[in-house]
Amino acid sequence: MKRRDFLTTTALTATAMAVSGCHRAEEKSKEGTVNVNKAKKVTLKLATSWPAHFPIMGTGVDTFAKRCFELSGGSLEIKVFPKNILVPALQVFDSCSAAQIDAFHSGVYYWKGKNPAFSIFGGMPLGLTSEEMITWLKFGGGYELWREMYGKFNLYPLIGGTTGPQMGGWFKKEIHSLADLKGLKMRIPGLGGEVMKKLGVNPVLLPAGEIYTALERGTIDATEWVGPALDRMMGFDKAADYYYTGWHEPGSILEITFNKARWEKLSNEHRAIITAASEEMTGNMLQEFRYKNAKAFKELPSNVQIKTFPKDMMDAAKVALSEVLKEESKKSEDFKRVLKSYEAFYALNKPYDDISTKNFLEIRG
């Protein structure tokens, strides 16, 4: 009897201690003092191609860093450095590749000089929308190719946002026909720039902070950027009157890319947190662009004239795009492989998209 009473008392005591310990752990967790990675705090340096706290794109990265800190209980701190603080806007790729910084946020098409295939990961003229691009990357094999090719530069990419359909750009003079493009200097990157080059335009690559001054002073005759919200903030409506509807960037992808060696040293938990926060940022950015572009469009000043490009120009653009894709495929096996994957998804997706999304939008009117 005494032995049984002793065992019962011991069991009850152990249970009480365990419950008490759980309560204390719960209390500490509520206070924010419990964290499995507390002894393994990690700090990463992330550089962007945007000015400090630049709306939507820059603030999206700021929120991403904050979310990583919150989700990790403070064990993962990502310090965001805007352009030109650690490295110039268009040198973030090289700096991250060389492990001078841990990560960067930018536009994928800026790096087509490294590998022409990279421009496809950023989006295609007259091609996939943001939702379709993300689907191709995540489910259609795009991510595997992107990571394989970035891996050669010691980089590991994640989708870091998307803009939705972009406008076609601001022009100082109205475009009446294809002939009006000849000799124009236009800020336009990526495959869209290659197409415009075939149409007689001189494409120029400029970082965000230099575009307005170049347009206002006549160094360039036209520029594309994103959409009404950011374009108005940049002041383009004060430097040009003709605002054209888009075709060249129907769903541009931004990237949040890490030094591959640094990424592989992170804990599984921190990698999962970064991945989840990047997914959240991508969704939030697309939704914020949609709302703020719609609002800014209604508030465009009276001098701005909304235009669509003339038919002969768009017909020529479609022919030029086909030529660019064939030429790049001949020059680069990587480009050919990525294009094959992209076109396979396009062919799979288009029939259903036509009877669902496209058909609904036509019915809605």
Count of alpha carbons within 13 Å of 364, Cβ hemisphere only?
A: 6
- The pLDDT of residue 64 is above 80: yes
- What kind of fold does domain 41-164+252-291 have according to CATH? D-Maltodextrin-Binding Protein; domain 2 (3.40.190)
Q: What's the CA gap between 311 and 161, in Å, rounded?
A: 32
Mean pLDDT, the chain, whole residue set: 91
Residue 63 neighbours by CB under 8 Å, 6+ apart: 281, 284
Beta-sheet strands, E only, within 120-237: 155-162, 169-171, 185-187, 202-204, 222-223
Give the pLDDT band of residue 39 (cuts 50, 70, 90): low
Residue with tokens 């768009």: 314
The residue length of the chain stands at: 365
Give residue 342's pLDDT. 98
Residue with tokens 């450095």: 81
Residue 259 neighbours by CB under 8 Å, 6+ apart: 96, 97, 99, 101, 102, 103, 154, 155, 156
Give residue 211's pLDDT. 94
| Edge-to-edge strands, sheet with 242-244 | 202-204, 185-187, 222-223, 169-171, 242-244, 305-307
For residue range 99-150, what is the model confidence (pLDDT) as tens digits? Answer: 999 999 999 989 999 999 999 999 999 999 999 999 999 999 999 999 999 9
**Inter-helix orientation angle 57-71/268-298, to 10°:** 150
**What are the CA-CA distances from residue 304 to residues 14, 128, 141 (Å)?**
76, 28, 41
Architecture per CATH, domain 169-248+302-328, reads as 3-Layer(aba) Sandwich (3.40)
Give residue 287's pLDDT. 98
Give the pLDDT band of residue 14 (cuts 50, 70, 90): very low
**Do the domains spanning 41-164+252-291 and 169-248+302-328 agree at the CATH topology level?**
yes
Residue 46 neighbours by CB under 8 Å, 6+ apart: 61, 65, 78, 79, 80, 81, 101, 102, 103, 104, 105, 256
Q: What is the pTM of this model?
A: 0.87
Lowest mean pLDDT among 15-19, 172-176, 185-189, 207-211: 15-19
Are the C-beta atoms of 243 and 167 separated by less than 8 Å? yes
Q: What is the mean pLDDT of residues 232-248?
A: 97
**What are the CA-CA distances from residue 39 to residues 7, 42, 43, 234 (Å)?**
38, 9, 13, 44
Give residue 217's pLDDT. 96
Among 233, 221, 110, smallest CA distance to 169 is for: 221
Q: What's the CA gap between 221 and 242, in Å, rounded?
A: 11
- The pLDDT of residue 266 is above 70: yes
**AA letter at 328:** E
**What are the CA-CA distances from residue 62 to residues 37, 59, 155, 224, 340 (Å)?**
22, 5, 21, 25, 36
Where do the structural domains in the chain lie, given as residue ranges?
Answer: 41-164+252-291, 169-248+302-328
